[in-house]
Structures are given as C-alpha cells and as structure tokens.
Structure 1
C-alpha cells in the first residue's frame, strides 16, 4: 500500500515561476534538464516554511548539524564513514569541481572524463582553459563497460580524472570491482580523482551505489555530494566536498574561499537537515515511483516503438534511449521532436561524440506527463517516415 502522505501524481503548473525547465523555452513538454516535477518531501517544505516565518534573511553560517546529517546518512545507508574535519561546504558540485580544477591542475593540462557523460564536465574543463581527454565507454549488446586498457594509457597523461558515479546519462552504478580498478590505475599514475556522486541515492529499489572512496582506497580521492537530485532541491545551491587527503583538503578549502563558493544560502541549512534527517521514507517511495516509470517506458518502447531501445540502467531518473536505428543525428532528432511535437529531450551528442545516436529522457514526473511524452515521441518518430 502506497504512503498517501506523499503525492507523486498531481501535475503541478511550474510555468511563470522562473523555472529553467518550463519557462526558458516554448516547448509544451520539457523532459530534459535533471530536476523532478514532483512535490518536495513534506518535511522539507515544513522546514522551509518554518525558516521563512523568521522575518530576517541575513548571512548564514553552516552548523555542525548539517555536516552530521551527511555523516549519518552515508554511514547508515552506504557504510561510508565520514568525519566533519574531512568535509567542506560549497554552493554546488559543479562550482566545487571548477574550483578544484583551478587549484589542483595547471592551465593547458589534460583532464580525463568517461564519455558519454554529463555535458557540464566539458564546459567546466574547457572554460578553465584545460583540455579534455576522453576514455570512451564501450557500448555492446545494450550495455556500457569501461575500456580499462585505454583508461590505463590515458591516465598516464593527466593529473586529474572526473568520475560520474552513478553515471549520467547512461544510468549505471559502477561495481566495486570497477571502482577498485579505477582507483588502482589512478594510484599507479598518481592521478587525482574527483567523484561526482550526486545521483547516488536514486538507484532502483534494492540496488545501492558504491562510494568511490571506500571501494577504491585511492589516496588522492575527492567525493562531491549533495541532496539536490535526491530531494529535488537544486535551487538551494548546497553541497559538500569530502577528502581524507589533507594536502588536497587545504588547497580546496582555500580555493572555495577565494571563489566565494563556501557561503551558505539562508534556506539551505534547513533544507539539507530536513532531507537527510526526516525524508528517508519519502525518498524510498520516490524510488519505487521512478522504478515503475522506468518499467512503463521499457514496456511502451517494446510494444509501441521497438525501433528505439532503452539502454539497461539501474540508477538516476534519466533514461538513455538508443535511437541509432533511425539513421538521424541526435541533434536533428531532438530539434524535430521539439518543433513538431513540443517534446524536449536532450540530444545525446551533448554528452560526447559517442552519444550521437541517443536521446536522454527525464522520467521524474507524474505518470500522466510520462504517458503524454511517450505518445509525442511515438508520433514524432512515425511522422519522420523513416
């Protein structure tokens, strides 16, 4: 029996709320950017309203309770035992990664990523005047695996690797074996590894992600964490950076301060604490909803649109759709669906050249919107006359 306290069915009008997803473009149905169209957990809403009742919104400090909420969550759920003295507060994971690129590498350095991967990794590297080196994931029989021979060779050329764990856009949780091997190679080549673990809570039911730090034991590991995806609170701009390496810790601490990225949003503290301390039941119910949505998409494609294949996945609410049989580029297909069906899906080429035959679909929405999106996708593909 579903928990009636949590509403994952109501379609909420987000138009005219300065919403990136719904207000920036004229599309009828945006299923691209990674935020959810569900009401926030009741405990979070209550905490925000309580803080809003105090009529002064000045500068905030980061209390110990916030760090303790992270520590308890990761210890209880993932056996990742963090200490407050190894944690730094930041306004967000990508600002943190940008700061770490600046303080831990030099202009012109190569930084390794595993494509297809979150498109902002490309921007943050290039806009900091560093160069991208890609370890392309191998796609075989509907699954992705790591090319470890290529990774070994390319890690010898870099100071830093950025890992996505779980991986966006392919929705894969990396195994302990994979993470241990990555750690071995990074140790071999003395490479700093930053692990972006923002999607870690959003796995299929009964699946748990493996934190890189405890799976690898790599001594130059840095983990970036945030409740923003798990609890749909990205607008509050809050995250932490964790590393046991004290030399790296001090450099990162200084750079976050220089970049003014270590300050706290007045509502962020209440949000984070309410998420990790009081919203676990909501998250578990959300995971069931996302799993049901994923299964619905899989069945729909199989029965109604078999020319498109859902790539096997076990994490995130972002589905990676193999459209390679259509013989049309992902950019052209994405644009065609937008202008002919009002459906906005992300072009796979945004995530690397090896994503060119794919689309990324955000399924974190009420079933009514998901059905409408799939029907528009089908109508668009049929109208292509391919």
Structure 2
C-alpha cells in the first residue's frame, strides 16, 4: 500500500471529542475509545495539502464556491454511482445533520410527523424533536442478528407524516439497501405525499465489492420527491472541516430548499471547505479511498473471524458499508444474566475497558447491541478483541 494505516496517530492534545467526552458516556476514561465515528487514521495528505495551500495565501477572508468544487462533485457522482448531476442540482451545506435540520425547517411545521426507521442514527430523532416535530419510530424487522425493512409496518406508520428521513447506507447496521427496497420506499412516500430526505454520508464506504445505490436514481418518484445529503467527511476523515452537499432534482423542492439555505446564510462554507472537497473527489482521493477500504475490510474480517471462534456470545453484523460495526450482544446478556442495556454498557466499560456506543441510543431495537468503530490500526482492533474475549471469560 502507498499509505500506512498501521500507524498509531496520537489524539492526545488535539482536543479530540472521543477522548474529551469518553468519561461522559461510560463513566471512566481508562478505556479504549472506539465510539465517535471518525477514523484513527491520519487525514489524507492531499486534504492537508489543500488546507496548507489556502492558508499560505495569508488571507482567510470570505471564500466562495469555485468550478473545481462543482466539477469534482459532478464527476464523482457520475463515475461512482451513475448519477448525473449539474451545478444547479448541488448546494453546499454545513454538514449532513445541518442539512436535515434545514429540510425539517423548510418542509414541515411544528407538531408535524416525521418518520424514521429505528434503530437508526440518533440525530434523525433528536433534530425533529428539538424543533417541535413529532417523530414516528417505524421499526425495522430483525432478521437473525441484522435488520430488514418492514414495508407492511411502514405503510401503516407513514400515514399522516410529512417527511421520512432515510439512512442509505444504514447506520448503525451497515446495510446497503437494495434497489427494490428503495423503489418500494419511493412508491409508498410518493403515494402518501411524504418527502424523503436521504442521508447518504456513508455512500463512499461500501465494502466487499458492493455498489452504492443513490435513492434518487431508483425511480422517477424517488428523483422528484427527495433531497440527497452527502459528504466526503467520513470516508476521508475530515469531519472537522464541515463540508457536505445537498443534491436536489425537483426544481420546486430545490427552489424552496436552496432558497432557504441562501436566505439564512447557510451556504457559505469555511475557507478550507471547497478546496478539501475538490481534493477528496479526485483520482488521488479515490486511490486513498480504495486502500483505506481494503484495510477496513481486513479489520472487519478479522473481527468477525476472531469473535466467532473465541467469543461467540458477541455476533457482529458484518457491514456492507461503513467502518462502524453493530455488535449483537444479546447472547452475552442472556449468559451473564443482564436485564438492562445499562448493564451491558457497564460490562464493556468496567470489565473490558472499551468505550463503544450503546445500541439503545439508536432506538429501542438497539437494546442488546453496541456500536464499534473499526477504522483504526489493526493492532488496536486486536487489542479491543483481546479485551472483549478476556472480559467474557472472566
């Protein structure tokens, strides 16, 4: 490999969130932090170079979008997903979660119902609730240790809703939804007049030869009744830069949404944002991405193989996308006599000295699960597995 993903990158002294707040989530700080969804790899050199080049100009003034920014997004979308977009379809947003908030503010009113499919990324619930909307928690269906869409339940729950927030690919289970699944969602939402906000931040993290299917490409209903939110921040490990994009094909939705973004001054990225996006969506960026994915795939294979052999009480859902792994710990809870999720969290913190995300933060169906960040050097993955195995044996 051209890049060294085995390197241990110290996070102490960098104001790292995963270190600063680890005690808040598990009650102690003498743990291996594998919770926050950023990588423990060094940010790619072409991103750092883009920042240095801009900073060396000596002026950190107001900075606007440029052709390289739009061209890189349009080219990347066509080459990787077969989704053809033009500059007018794209708008900068200050993060995917912010993009969800802006959509909620534009297209819904207080007390309107917004549907999410739990277990799912927790801001899907937090953002609507914080703005006075009512969240409808439509459950996915458990299949073994993983999940699938329950369309019969979805048809019941979607009635009266104004918006659905879709996670594609899914976080935390790492599912790449099939074209047929997405087509059914599009049909149901179109029939009910429900706007779909498709969070596709993990679209560039598809694994083991799979291909991401953008929601907007599966049907005309999907194309004309959706807002797609993407960002290079996860896959290129630069969430601190805050750079994301919204893609909208329907001109009426685009006029309302982009107009609100412009009118509330949310379209102005920081001075480094546009250059970093253009650097990521390049040939050099794709080379780094491919090497990183190959490394993460080996980490996932290692985790699954070792736990199956040494600790079958914990069953990972092998992700089809993302560097996050949802660990099914229901057998472990049964064996250890745990009744509450809090006991599972305490087990990992106090016995295994590991900081993972508690599964119930993603919804009630997350009880019995923990989420683990696998984007780290292999030595750290092995250390974490050793800690889990030893804790279970004790």
TM-score bucket of the superposed structures, by smaller chain: over 0.9
What's the counterpart of residue 330 of structure 1?
Answer: 341
Structure 1 residue 27: Cα displacement = 4.3
Equivalent positions of 1:1-386 (< 5 A) are 3=1, 5-25=2-22, 26-218=29-221, 219-277=224-282, 278-325=284-331, 326-327=333-334, 328=338, 329-383=340-394
Structure 1 residue 85: Cα displacement = 0.7
Separation in 2 of the partners of 1:66 and 1:332? 47
Over residues 63-95 of structure 1, what are the superposed CA-to-partner deviations in whole Å (9 max), with x where a residue is unaligned? Answer: 122111111001001101111111111111101
Separation in 2 of the partners of 1:243 and 1:9? 39
Structure 1 residue 137: Cα displacement = 0.7
What's the counterpart of residue 25 of structure 2?
Answer: none
Separation in 2 of the partners of 1:381 and 1:164? 33
Structure 1 residue 297: Cα displacement = 0.4
Structure 1 residue 17: Cα displacement = 0.6
TM-score, length basis structure 2: 0.93
Unaligned runs of 5+ in 1: none
User: For the Cα contact (< 8 Å) 2:261–2:267, is it kept in 1?
Assistant: yes
Separation in 2 of the partners of 1:335 and 1:60? 47
User: For the Cα contact (< 8 Å) 2:18–2:33, is it kept in 1?
Assistant: yes
User: For the Cα contact (< 8 Å) 1:223–1:242, is it kept in 2?
Assistant: yes
Q: Secondary structure at the match of 2:161?
A: coil
Separation in 1 of the partners of 2:248 and 2:182? 16
Q: Secondary structure at the match of 1:279?
A: helix
Separation in 2 of the partners of 1:87 and 1:159? 23
User: For the Cα contact (< 8 Å) 2:300–2:318, is it kept in 1?
Assistant: no
User: For the Cα contact (< 8 Å) 2:115–2:135, is it kept in 1?
Assistant: yes
Over residues 111-140 of structure 1, what are the superposed CA-to-partner deviations in whole Å (9 max), with x where a residue is unaligned? Answer: 001110001111101001101112211112
Structure 1 residue 104: Cα displacement = 0.2
User: For the Cα contact (< 8 Å) 1:167–1:173, is it kept in 2?
Assistant: yes
TM-score, length basis structure 1: 0.95
User: For the Cα contact (< 8 Å) 1:29–1:373, is it kept in 2?
Assistant: yes
Separation in 2 of the partners of 1:242 and 1:183? 16
Q: Secondary structure at the match of 2:165?
A: strand
Stretch deviating more after TM superposition (305-314 or 288-297): 305-314
User: For the Cα contact (< 8 Å) 1:179–1:212, is it kept in 2?
Assistant: yes
Unaligned runs of 5+ in 2: 23-28
Separation in 1 of the partners of 2:320 and 2:349? 28
Structure 1 residue 258: Cα displacement = 4.3
User: For the Cα contact (< 8 Å) 2:39–2:376, is it kept in 1?
Assistant: yes
Q: Secondary structure at the match of 1:306?
A: coil
For the aligned residues, what is the CA RMSD? Answer: 1.4
Structure 1 residue 335: Cα displacement = 3.0
Separation in 1 of the partners of 2:170 and 2:102? 22
Separation in 2 of the partners of 1:239 and 1:140? 33
Over residues 185-240 of structure 1, what are the superposed CA-to-partner deviations in whole Å (9 max), with x where a residue is unaligned? Answer: 11111110000000001111311110000013222111001001110111111111
Structure 1 residue 373: Cα displacement = 1.2
Between the two proteins, the alignment pairs up a number of residues equal to 380
Separation in 2 of the partners of 1:236 and 1:261? 15
